[in-house]
Amino acid sequence: MTTADAWSIKPATALLVLADGSVIEGEGLGATGDAVGEICFNTAMTGYEEILTDPSYAGQIITFTFPHIGNVGTNEEDIETVNMAADSGIRGCVVNASVTDPSNYRASRRLDQWLKSRGIIGISGIDTRALTALIREKGVPNAVIAYSPDGKFDLDALKKKAAEWPGLEGMDLAKDVSTTQTHHWDETTWKWDAGYGKAGAAEFKVVALDFGIKRNILRLLTEAGCDVTVLPATATAEEVLAHQPDGVFLSNGPGDPAATGEYATATIKALIERGIPVFGICLGHQMLALALGGRTVKMHQGHHGANHPVHDHTTGKVEITSMNHGFAVDAKSLPDSVEETHVSLFDGSNCGIRLKGKPVFSVQYHPEASPGPRDSHYLFKRFTDFMRETKKAA
């Protein structure tokens, strides 16, 4: 072996090809092939498996700013996708350090094996700080992520695919990740050395509209005393009311809220008119704002992480929250009947609303803390308090 051979660089086995034609080389992991999507970055230091199975990321390629992704492996308990047939819809993942063998007693597989089993393409060896800085400066780019073990790529075809992808604006992705059938949920939250529990006696009947709902949201609703029935995103008001709910939950989900709102807002309006308590998060928050006369806008870089400070105007407190959204409610578009309750302390964007005089409210962030801090668990109690008061007044 010559000195030149000893120092030769292996050919790249994975590429990130941006819509502007830029090419970033790295080492492939997970599934082979290529996929197109929007690149965002997530600043969370924990919970990568929950992030990778969050349906709100459908159509996106996630760049993790924390360098050591995969170090605790994966397991079958931390998956957040409810609709396993549709999977989470994530297009790919970008990490800095190579994936190592897991170091955690709960691990059942390495991250790269797990990614391959779920058809997710990954790339490592990337300067994720530089990529994050690019996104912050120029906004979220469309891109193709590709993995070929032999290092052979049709670069022209990949550039063309990246340049021609239309982006998330105008896309209704909720129907792609939503449940296709009505089903009941009875699992409660995870406990140390006990795993997940089962629901006991329930005080309230709740219908959850699934725009891409996460499992831990359903667990917290169940633990709060709710008998939960999950309906597809396209459910009508009549289909919801047939279950005689005490309250309706509007879930998180992916895509452009204006596109999903073309069919969802009519249902939400009808439910509000019936006086039923309504609680929404993330896409559900945006759906509620649209139903109440507001509008939504595409964000420059979005909010993705487990460390976002939010000010609650109703209590004066600051919560550290988990967020995952690329669209936001335009607070200036809200009618006088709607009060802004929460704002981001990062950029002042809207993070919560309530309908004055009605048991109807929503937040932009994820109070279920999967992953993320638990500062916002009180919102589930707020929802049950509204249902209890509404039942007493009936």
Lookup result for tokens 């879930």: 251
Bridge partners of 94, per DSSP, are: 63, 123
Pairing, β 338-344 against β 296-312 = antiparallel
Binding site annotation covers 253? yes
Q: CB-based contacts of 101: which residues, under 8 Å, 6+ apart?
A: 73, 110
Binding site annotation covers 252? no
Q: Which helix (H) or strand (E) holds 250?
A: strand 247-250
Binding site annotation covers 197? no
The DSSP code sequence of 200-224 is: ---SEEEEEEESS-BHHHHHHHHHT
- In angstroms, rounded to a whole number, what is the distance separating the alpha carbons of residues 230 and 213? 9
- In angstroms, rounded to a whole number, what is the distance separating the alpha carbons of residues 80 and 52? 8
Binding site annotation covers 327? yes
Binding site annotation covers 22? no
Binding site annotation covers 286? yes
Neighbour-count burial for 213-244, b at 16+ CB within 10 Å, e otherwise: bbbbbbbbbbbbbbbbbbbbbbbebeebbeee
User: What type of residue sits at position 268?
Assistant: I
The catalytic site residues sit at 282, 366, 368
Bridge partners of 353, per DSSP, are: 340, 362
Binding site annotation covers 56? yes
Binding site annotation covers 41? no
User: Which segments are annotated as binding site for L-glutamine?
Assistant: 56, 253, 255, 283, 286, 324, 326-327
User: Which segments are annotated as binding site?
Assistant: 56, 253, 255, 283, 286, 324, 326-327
